[in-house]
Structure 1
Amino acid sequence: MGSKGVNKKETVSLHSICAVDLFCGAGGLTHGLEKSGIAVNLGIDIDPACKYPYSANNNASFLLKSVDDVEASELLGAYNGSRLKLLAGCAPCQTFSSYNQKADSSDKRWWLLLQFSRLIRETEPELVTMENVPGLMDQDVFKEFVADLKARGYHVDYQVVNCAEYGLPQQRNRLVLLASQLGSIKLLSPKEFKKKTKTVKEAIGKLPSIEAGAIDSKDPLHQSSSLSKTNYQRILVSTPGGTWRDWPEELVADCHKKKSGKTYRSVYGRMRWNEPAPTITTQFFGFGNGRFGHPEQNRAISLREGAILQSFPKKYKFTAPGEPISKKVLGRLIGNAVPVQLGELIGKSILKHVTEYNLSVCDEV
């Protein structure tokens, strides 16, 4: 196994950790790991739209390739002989999401986690991390993933994390797994991470005001979707934290008047300034797709605001200069991303683990 190459009489430098990010997307996890102090040498994704934002904002190389076709030699080459190898990733999670009521084991994405397992077996990284939706935890494919790690000698810890407790300005529950060949490992607690809770107002309250359908002159990503005449009337009568149930009868959609539609209360709402945002999905730029109305301005939140609520830096580049902006494409990249702050939490947890391992080794020498 990979840990046999670590001389326990030597102090392992934190800078000797090198990571590869599978299913890297636009770079949220990579950016957070880099922010924590962990070097990431390679990000891999099958989506060509990820290449520019990943490469423009991070120090890692980008490989456009399906994980099905990735070979161990490509990862080992990226690790470049590093003392400690970290394999990180978030397999596409829509299959296991509570928003997806139709997916089953016939969905090819269901088995991407097993490709993750294959690459762990073939490259033997000392450290592994995975982030996904909580629903994955109940699936046999996840249980098989964990069992395979343990069978190979990894210490495994996983838990569902409310990211808002770690300072993300968003209510987002995620499954986070950490595994190590070095010894027991666990995620930092909110107290150890030392980040204060953050509200929508603290995150996006100072961005320039724009109207529905408008684009900020200094930041093309700070643009909002236009509203139909009916939806404009709806947002005028919407209050922060409210729902369509608060509207006059004539503005309520026909589908919501039906018995089957009365349970869908989490659409057509405004965010509250003094709370974290609701979970940012791939459709966050549309007023009717969730509680994505701006707390004060009569529009849905902009692409930039969604990215900031996902803890991407305000200057994070998602499209090349002069390239047309597709709300659908960027909504997917931003909504599917691992929040940068969660990536930083994972990175700092790994660094603390390695530091404690070094201290225990020094005590034994």
Structure 2
Amino acid sequence: MSLNPEDFPLVTDKSREILKEKQATDYEAHRIEFVRWLIHLGKNPELAEGYGRDTIRATAYRTDQFARWVWTEQEDSYTVAFTHDHADAYMTELLYSDTTATHKANTQKALKRLFKWRANEKGDDLWEPERSFSNTSSDSGPREYLTIEERKKVREAALEYGSIPSYSNTHGDDLDKWKAVLAQRFGKPKEEITADDWERANSWKFTSMTWVSLDCGLRPIEVERAKVSWVDVENSVLRIPKEDSAKNDGNWVVALSDRTTDALERWMNEREQYEQYDDADELWLTREGNPYQTQSLRRLLVKLCDIAGIPTDNRQMSWYALRHSTGTAMTHERDLAAAKAQLRHKSEQTTMKYDNVPVEHRRDALERMG
């Protein structure tokens, strides 16, 4: 599908009435970039899969309406630097409007696409709405989700991922095979692979990164920003300062299990042996020395699910699945207040989507209540 300005509402007549000529020109360039992304990458950037024409048209109309609202009701001036606060305020506006549930839900989906584009192309954070709208009851809970049993399987898979047989117990053809594997992994000649490389292959990096994310519900941007200075092993917590917080609204102290604390301490000791971490405070880096980001984390989770025997076909699977499962499990085991604190939510409304205790659990509670 090609971009034909007549097919998609780039700058609507209502927007042109508000904007000056140069602002309209700038806004049109912004919109062209966004719509092209929707056409070619929007649905699945990893597979270069775009949306259909009708979805793109509807998204373009709804995001244009949002832009006009920001200009007239929020900023009193033109901007294309739309923020999460703008989007959350617009959702509040819709909440009290007379529009249908379907319109509210579809508008939220359109804004999610807008911020997904900004995350993929501009380096912004993904938007996690403070409140969710749905036009069907099946959409009331988080869509990317692991059950408690699946969480356990992923945790164990993180112990297995990347591991290889011990150096002392590998001989002959098997030794040569594993040297070839490590040569490819570390980007060095096979004849230069040593016992130290063998030890490095059995790293605690992926285990610690996965387990900390399972405990704390780390967003992808928080994995990317994670620093050694966050880690308080002695008290089994992460201390995330305001300036590093994804929502940037306060300092957070997030609990870690003893098992995760042990894995993280092992990784902290291990990372000191790698040159790429010299003079670096990043907690986890790829072998190229870059922070982990959304797509690399998604690939890791899919591999972990494969090891764990968890089907991922026809499921929305990203690193957020760990976060959503943490929220649901914490709500079931404790309460919404505990989930809100662990996930670092500003609003209880955001946490409410995890309060989806299964019917059988609620029935058991009624029996206990008498």
- Provide TM-score, normalisation by structure 2: 0.26
Q: Looking at secondary structure, tell me which structure has more helix per residue.
A: 2
Find the structure with the greater CA-based Rg: 2
- Provide TM-score, normalisation by structure 1: 0.27
Query: Per chain length, whose mean CA-contact separation is higher, i.e. which structure has more relative contact order (CA < 8 Å, sep 6+)?
Result: 1
